[in-house]
Amino acid sequence: MRNIKDIRFDIDKVDEKLIKLLEKRFDLSKEVSLYKKENNKPIFDKERENEILKNLEKENKKYGPYFREIYKTIMEQSKNLQKKCERYGLLGKKLGHSFSKIIHEKIGNYTYEYFEKDEDELSDFFQKRDFKAINVTIPYKNDVIKYLDVISDKAEKIGAVNTIVNIEGKLYGYNTDYEGFLYNLKKHKIDINGKKVLILGKGATSNTVKVVLEDLGAKKIVRLSRRFKPFFKDVSNYIDYQIIINTTPVGMFPNNEKKLSDINIDDFKNLEAFVDCIYNPFMTNLSIDSKIKGITFATGLDMLIAQGVRAAEYFLGKKIDDKKICQIRSSIFKEQMNIALIGMPGSGKTSIANILSKKLDREFIDIDCEFEKKYGNIEDFFKRYGEDEFRIKESEILKEYGKKVGLVIACGGGVIKKEINYYYLKQNSFIVNIKRDLDKLAIEGRPLSLEKRIEDLYKERKDLYEKFEDVSVENIDINDCSDEIIRIFYENISY
């Protein structure tokens, strides 16, 4: 009997050869997949598989049944590889800020590409049909219809297609924006039946929204726009409307601060809900206004994710549970929602934000630091230009950083003194109020804390901190406090 070491040495040598051969086989398998794609042939060839398996058993009397099992696995994995070679993606003109890749790669085991095309490239793109399935976005949702072989009733009614599946060379078009919007209404329990609904905007998205509203039995639907009657400025005729839906891009990144000047949530006395189709920022000014007023609101992210999940069902030919939508939403928030710290000067915002950024592997921005980089020492600035000027500059800095995502932001203690700062922060941030015993607050280098009694400063500001905060956390130990913030943050984004 040979010793085990020698036998294992021989096994390792055989394995080395086997792995090389398997690698070669997988490469060939990829080549076959490309051939099949070019020639519009399905990946799965049952006959060829059966033939290989049969021959294996016939030609290998000794180990035939074992080989059969091994080959079944090899072929299964080859198919998985070939599936991955199939192309999925998004067709559009400018796709720099799309979330679709993030969403689709969280849904399925496929890679998702961006097909950025100009108008004159569309015809060639559809002639080649070198994709398994795609989404379509602005401005091509209508233009693509003429290249399709079959179009769903909903897509036809809306006049827009956002999902195309290539089945053996034939192109099938669907509209899952419809389902995405419908999901958003249902999730937020917004009842449309018998209601008067005001749509802001008359573009492509408004067509989808309108068809959903009609199907749900809205009593009246009016679309306001800039160029066609009725105009935004005619809004006073509709202030008894119960639901408002924004389909305009006003307030979308990078112009987050833009507003529809004629539309004021306060004017609508019967308002029950506001729905936005914008998802970047997470909350637009109108969503924030609705939140402040305690009106039900739904932002655009759920619609976006839901349309993606419904599109993936067409891509993969299988049903995907709505739970997936919630999971994707949580994971996007977990990665991208900022954590912003507010609180009295010297309460520990900078120190805790610093720890959070390390624990969460996020970029850390201290608004005071950014101020000092631009305008020098804060105490000197106060002496020379006064508080008002400081607040203006502080706000400008917040406006820029508030648009970003995935940050930990330490604010200055007085950030709550300007209402506009709430909008800058809330759009993409979870806001945590850091509380620490007043007698423990640091005052050095903080002009306002040096100038007046801390108790008076706190009295002036207490309500404002509470208005801004999503939650408050006690700072006794900075490490415990940062752990508590992480725990609460994860808990709050998981819904």
Ligand X SMILES: O=C(O)C1=C[C@@H](OP(=O)(O)O)[C@@H](O)[C@H](O)C1
Annotated binding site: 346-351, 368, 391, 413, 446, 461
**434 close to 481: Cβ distance less than 8 angstroms:** yes
- Cβ count near 408 (within 10 Å): 26
Cα distance between residue 433 and residue 425, in whole Å: 13
117 is catalytic: no
478 binds, among ligand ADP, ligand X, Mg ion, none (CB under 5 to 8 A by kind): ligand ADP
136: which residues sit within 8 A by CB, 6+ positions away? 90, 91, 92, 144, 161, 162, 163, 164
Least separation, in Å, of the C-beta of 442 and Mg ion?
A: 9
Nearer to ligand ADP, 277 or 410 (CB): 410
- Please report, as ranges, the residues that interact with ligand ADP according to CB under 6 A: 343, 345-351, 410, 442, 475-478
Residue 350 binds to Mg ion (criterion: CB under 5 A): yes
Shortest Cβ distance from residue 206 to ligand ADP (Å)? Answer: 45
Q: Which helix (H) or strand (E) holds 474?
A: strand 471-474
Tell me the closest approach of the beta carbon of residue 447 to ligand X, in angstroms. Answer: 6
Judged by beta carbon distances under 5 to 8 A according to partner kind, the member of ligand ADP, Mg ion, ligand X, none in contact with residue 448 is ligand X
Choosing from 37, 141, 154, 403, the catalytic residue is 141
**What is the gyration radius of the CA atoms in the chain, in angstroms?**
29
**CB of 267 within 8 A of CB of 294?**
no
Shorter beta-carbon distance to ligand ADP: residue 427 or 433:
433
Tokens at residue 284, please? Answer: 């637009």
Q: Judged by CB under 6 A, does residue 251 bind ligand X?
A: no
Which of 301, 238, 277 minimizes the C-alpha distance to 428?
A: 301
Residue 472, token pair as written in the block: 């408050």
Task: Indicate whether 368 belongs to the interface with ligand X (CB under 6 A).
Answer: yes
Residue 347 contacts Mg ion per CB under 5 A:
no
Q: Which stretch binds ligand X (CB under 6 A): 66-74, 197-205, 342-350, 427-435?
A: 342-350
**What's 92's DSSP letter?**
E
Nearer to ligand ADP, 276 or 484 (CB): 484
Provide the edge-to-edge strand list for the sheet that holds 150-151: 112-116, 88-92, 133-136, 163-167, 170-174, 150-151
Write the binding mask 392 to 431 for ligand X: x where contact by CB under 6 A, - elsewhere.
--------------------xxx-----------------
Q: Count the Cβ atoms, other than its own, within 10 Å of residue 466.
A: 11
Residue 128 to residue 483: CA distance in whole angstroms: 53
d(CA 67, CA 137): 48
Among Mg ion, ligand X, ligand ADP, none, what binds residue 414 when CB lies within 5 to 8 Å by partner kind? ligand X
Q: Which residues are annotated as a binding site for substrate?
A: 368, 391, 413, 461
CA 127 to chain centre: 32
- Contact residues: ligand X, CB under 6 A: 345-346, 349-350, 368, 378, 412-414, 446-448
Question: Which residues participate in catalysis according to the annotation?
Answer: 141
- Contact residues: Mg ion, CB under 5 A: 349-350
